[in-house]
Amino acid sequence: MAHRDRWASRPAFIMAAIGSAIGLGNLWRFPMVAYRNGGGAFLIPYIIALATAGIPLMILEYSLGQRFQKATPGALKAVKPPFEMIGWWALGVGTTISFYYAVIMAWCWDYLACSFGQPWCDDPQAFFNRVLRLTDGPGQIGTISWPVLVGLVVTWALIYWIIKKGVLRVGKVVMITVPLPAVLLLLIFIRGITLPGAVEGLAYYLTPDFSALTNSETWLQAYAQVFFSLSLGFGILTAYASYLPKRSDITNNAFMTSLADAGFAFFAGFAVFSVLGYLAQSTGVPVDSVVKAGPGLAFVIYPTAMSLMPFAPVIAAMFFITLLTLGIDSAFSIVEGAVAGIRDKWNISQSATAGAFCIFGLLVGLVFATGSGLYWLDIVDHWMNNYGLVVIGFLECVAIGWFYGTKKLRDYINEVSDFKIGIWWDIFVKWITPLALGWALVTNIINEFQIPYEGYPKWALIVGGWGVVATIIAVAAFITALPGARKEGE
């Protein structure tokens, strides 16, 4: 086949995969999910989910890309032609996530620009609403927020610049965007644990509540968190692995990526909860009431806490640079996953595909830059994470477990890897992982119809939730039906 793009080295690939995995989700999502689901005891279901679904599926996604030298749609097509559609579905979900992920990064740029003036001091919630020009509900579109628009343009321009020449530049950028947030977070952690009240905060995070382990919701959350955090089910890891030579290690890379991601998430909890403990003590309210998930943590609660510390502007700037460097390598990994899929099919140049994708992403992302953007972001995010990823993980297991043959793929993996995996992997891919995912899916759907998500109006959930899911499936079917371009040597 004609020359395929290649990573400069194995560390470049590993860093890029870790960069994709470690993202905004590690900093705000993991600590909150852990806190709500048994604190320290949550580590048990989390590690089990990592071992039973995270690592086996990561090995699967890596080996698909590397074995077939194609991004997700092409690799699944090689397994069986109709499966190409699963690949486009994965890329559709990833693409949709990139639209709003870039908007969250736009907020970070705005906050970074404001770090030195600290304009959020008086009323952080009001400041956040003002930056977003937030309206009262998804039905009130409002107007586009200019600061968010500027941040969005900066984000997409940066993504374009990083991926326009393929993975060589990606490999260089991640040598900065992976270690830098780790170092900054270490500094924030040191600052955090030396603040008064930090110990109470950490006690909240880590005190185990073993009764949570008997609750099925806890287990569901553990699986969902593992998927989101490892960037599984979006077609990214397969695309990244397709840029490795056919004879490169798989298992060791998968273990390193997963463990680095889990370790970072656990560590981030210390930085987050020590500061929350401090905030609770200095404002005299219990830790419970300052703990909220979602954007509220990064853009309301954390800024409040930082504004109370000495050297507030420096700490705030450090915090938002941490978020930006955490986010950017996750954001461009999604875009690269999609661009790789498109290029495999039609043989278009990297820079043209990347450019068109970024402009499209910017335009569609404008929806999330309006006054109602936060509501739509919340709805779309919920559906993509709860349905997109779980369904795709399930279908990937079925495709390999029941159609390609786990033994065949495992023989290949063991032939090229640093260490061998046993029959346990076959059992996971064929039975345990799909059963766990299928169960998560059914439970999710039942819950969805019982309680409207976050009390949003029904029409908004139909449009932003099921409507977006249906659109992605339709587009995936359409692209699958289109003829691809022939390449030399095929």
Least distance CB 255 / ligand PHE (angstroms): 17
Nearer to ligand PHE among residue 390 and residue 421 (C-beta): 390
Give yes or no for residue 251 binding ligand PHE (CB under 6 A): no
Give yes or no for residue 231 binding ligand PHE (CB under 6 A): yes
Total residues contacting ligand PHE by CB under 6 A comes to 16
Nearer to ligand PHE among residue 120 and residue 240 (C-beta): 240
Nearer to ligand PHE among residue 127 and residue 228 (C-beta): 228
Binding segment toward ligand PHE, per CB under 6 A, in 21-29, 195-203, 295-303, 395-403? 21-29
Least distance CB 22 / ligand PHE (angstroms): 6
Give yes or no for residue 24 binding ligand PHE (CB under 6 A): yes
Burial of 481 (0-12, 13-18, 19+ CB in 10 A): exposed
- Which of 322, 330, 370, 480 binds ligand PHE (CB under 6 A)? It is 330
Nearer to ligand PHE among residue 197 and residue 341 (C-beta): 341
Give yes or no for residue 253 binding ligand PHE (CB under 6 A): no
- What the block records as the tokens of 350 is 């990297």
**What is the footprint of ligand PHE within residues 50-89 (CB under 6 A)?**
none
Give yes or no for residue 26 binding ligand PHE (CB under 6 A): yes
Give yes or no for residue 21 binding ligand PHE (CB under 6 A): yes
Nearer to ligand PHE among residue 329 and residue 426 (C-beta): 329
Nearer to ligand PHE among residue 76 and residue 104 (C-beta): 104
Give yes or no for residue 17 binding ligand PHE (CB under 6 A): no
Give yes or no for residue 25 binding ligand PHE (CB under 6 A): yes
Least distance CB 449 / ligand PHE (angstroms): 26
Give yes or no for residue 97 binding ligand PHE (CB under 6 A): yes
Binding segment toward ligand PHE, per CB under 6 A, in 9-17, 22-30, 343-351, 433-441? 22-30
Binding segment toward ligand PHE, per CB under 6 A, in 15-23, 53-61, 317-325, 433-441? 15-23
User: Cα dist. 251→12, 57, 60, 227, 415 in Å?
Assistant: 17, 11, 10, 18, 11
Least distance CB 26 / ligand PHE (angstroms): 5
- Which of 19, 23, 74, 361 binds ligand PHE (CB under 6 A)? It is 23
Binding site for ligand PHE (CB under 6 A): 20-21, 23-26, 94, 97, 228-229, 231, 234, 236, 330, 333-334
